[in-house]
Amino acid sequence: MAITEFKATPLDTIPSIASTARSTFRTHKTKTLAWRKTQLRRLYWAIEDFKPRLLAALRADLHRSDYESLLTEIEWLKKDCLFMLEHIDEYAKDEKLKSPDVPVAFAAMKFRIRKEPLGTVLIIGPYNFPVQLLISPLIGAIAAGCTAVLKPSELTPSVAMVIKELVEARLEKGAFAVVNGGVAETSALMEIKWDKIFFTGSSAVGTIIAKKAAETLTPVTLELGGRNPAFVTKNADLQLAARRLLWGKTVNCGQVCLSQNYVLIEKGLVDKFVEALKQAYKEMFPEGAKKSPDLARIVNKRHFARIKKMLDETKGRIVIGGEVDESELYIEPTAVVVSSVDDAMMQEESFGPIFAIYPVNTLDEALNVANLVHRTPLALYAFGSKKENERILNEMTSGGATLNDAFFHGSVNTIPFGGVGDSGLGCYHGRWSFDCFSHKRTVAETPRWVEPLLRVRYMPFDVKHMKR
Ligand code: NAD
């Protein structure tokens, strides 16, 4: 299938793209539920119709298997559209406020919350799930009644071009647009006043976006990265933990914000755990990972070099994997036993198929190390007894957590997903996507007939009736 050549959006057209989206919002037509539902239905069918081109683009950009792309992007988004269509009436309707929120003294008045679209929003996406992570927030924005401009990652150029065509051909012109490009185009977009910016990407760029947004008090949702720990204790099923954690590093070749960066495991269990990892590796890649048609590749040379550098600089012992091949941008799923938090494997987010195994003496030590490495990661995994898992949840925070598995709290597209501290701000998915792009506007209504009761509030005050 022919891949469209990447073209950045001319910088001088960006302000008018944004102002068109704003003018469309000001017509108020996006506020009717009928209009929003039409856009969601169109989006559903656009994803279905563009499926072959999206799959081809994902293959070209990430060497991803169609199976994985269908599961993590295409079918995910179709389900997202259907779920939102099913629930939009309920999410959009006014919420009546009653006792106990409204004190009895005000029972004669009416209070409600109106769900209003924030307005014209900017959605900036990363490269790793370049369709899902751009379109899933868009579903929330459409449902809430916003207009939007999307900025896909330039690191997945084929996908970026297909998304531009999909959005501009199928969604209402003027209400939705795609700006393609990198830092220059994103910076131009950031010069515009938006009603919200939804950013998914690295914490470093998230900081740039948040600072710029703060200049105009623009609200942001930030979906960022982090160094995610996994805890494995003597009460874990080691085979299961090994298979599930290896899975976490093979999906999209480990280029997943949620996958573990390191595994904290009791010293006496390390050899058995490594054996279990080897076993799981053999089951997943009977011919070796390089020959597997299912394993994606690293997105580009820069990220390949970044991940390889971690392997070159580690002082640890590679216990599985370790093969790299730049000509294919191939990095083998790799585990490295390390002994210091200063090791290159522990110092930055790997965002690739490699992870550290960090032996500890006790759960106390594991918790100390994890809190030292990154106090607020995006995700945390605990493979222990019920009591140990609860202790881990209690003594270390994270955006979300999965017990006895890798990243499952982020795999269900209808439950809230987001970071905490420097791994993110705000959350989305399901009803939370709707809320993310809505303003909850409190409306009070005072009936005429309560006027006699309100006499007490008018001057001159009759202080002798006041209780002291
Ligand atoms: P990135 O931050 O490099 O890029 C994200 C977006 O920002 C891209 O569209 C890019 O064009 C733009 N951008 C890059 N540099 C910029 C700059 N200087 N000024 C303005 N805009 C700029 O992220 P990435 O490499 O595409 O994605 C990987 C990172 O994203 C990882 O840290 C990962 O953990 C994180 N991530 C988080 C989530 C989540 O849901 N929390 C999901 C996926 C990825």
Q: In a mutational test of the pocket of ligand 1, which residue from 129, 186, 220, 252 has the highest number of ligand atoms less than 8 Å from its CB?
A: 186
Ligand 1 pocket by C-beta < 6 Å: which residues? Answer: 124-128, 133, 151, 153-155, 182-183, 186-187, 200-202, 205, 208, 223-225, 257, 349, 351, 378, 419, 424
128 C-alpha vs ligand 1 centroid, how far in Å?
Answer: 9
Question: Ligand 1: which atom is nearest the Cα of residue 417?
Answer: 40
Catalytic residue among 68, 223, 349, 388: 223
Ligand 1 mutation target, pool 123, 129, 131, 153, most atoms within 8 A of CB: 153
What ligand 1 atom has the least distance to the C-alpha of 151? 9
Is the model's pLDDT at 327 over the cut of 80? yes
Mean pLDDT of 93-121: 96
Q: Is 168 a catalytic residue?
A: no
**Cα(172) to centroid of ligand 1, in Å?**
27
Summarised one tens digit per residue, pLDDT across range 389-414 is 999 999 999 999 999 999 899 999 99
CA separation, residue 86 to residues 83, 89, 252, 411 (Å): 5, 8, 30, 20
Instruction: Express each pLDDT in 201-256 by its tens digit.
Output: 999 999 999 999 999 999 999 999 989 999 999 999 999 999 999 999 999 999 99
Catalytic: which of 81, 146, 257, 427? 257
Judge whether 223 counts as a catalytic residue. yes
pLDDT band at residue 1 using 50, 70 and 90 as cut-offs: confident
Per-residue model confidence as pLDDT tens digits over 56-84: 999 999 999 999 999 999 999 999 999 99
Residue bearing the CA closest to ligand 1, atom 42: 257
Q: Give ipTM to 2 decimals.
A: 0.99
Q: 238 and 270 in contact (C-beta within 8 Å)?
A: no
Question: How far apart are the CA of 286 and the centre of ligand 1, in A?
Answer: 34
- Ligand 1 pocket test: which of 180, 205, 411 has the largest number of ligand atoms within 8 Å of its C-beta? 205
Is residue 367 scored above 80 in pLDDT?
yes
pTM above 0.90, yes or no: yes
How many alpha carbons fall within 13 Å on the CB side of residue 326? 9
What per-residue confidence (pLDDT) applies to 112?
Answer: 98
Q: What is the atom index within ligand 1 of the atom nearest the CA of 182? A: 11
Interval between CA 258 and ligand 1 midpoint (Å):
14
pLDDT given for residue 465 in this prediction: 62
Q: Whose CA is nearest to atom 34 of ligand 1?
A: 225
How close is the Cα of 205 to the center of ligand 1, in Å? Answer: 6
Spell out the residues 6+ positions from residue 12 whose beta carbon is closer than 8 angstroms to its own: none
The closest-lying atom of ligand 1 relative to the alpha carbon of residue 378 is: 41
pLDDT, mean of residues 448-460: 92
pLDDT digits (tens, 9 = 90+) for 158-170: 999 999 999 999 9
Cα(59)–Cα(49) distance, integer angstroms: 17
Contacts of 217 (CB under 8 A, 6+ apart): none
Distance 201 CA to ligand 1 centre (A): 3
Residue 100: is its pLDDT beyond 60? yes
Query: Among residues of the chain, what percentage have pLDDT more than 70?
Result: 99
Q: What is the C-alpha separation between 32 and 49, in angstroms, rounded? A: 26
Structure confidence at residue 466 (pLDDT)? 64
Domains and CATH numbers, the chain: 11-224+430-440 (3.40.605.10), 229-416 (3.40.309.10)
Q: Give the distance (Å) from ligand 1 centre to CA of residue 151.
A: 11
| Residue to mutate (ligand 1; options 257, 304, 429; most atoms within 8 A of CB) | 257
- C-alpha of residue 308 to centroid of ligand 1, in Å: 20
pLDDT tens digits, 292-305: 999 999 999 999 99
Nearest-atom index, ligand 1, CA of 154: 11
Minimum-distance ligand 1 atom for the alpha carbon of 126: 26
Q: What are 166-191's pLDDT values in tens digits?
A: 999 999 999 999 999 999 999 999 99
Point out the ligand 1 atom lying closest to the alpha carbon of residue 418.
Answer: 41
Signed CA dihedral, 316, 383, 244, 403: sign only: negative
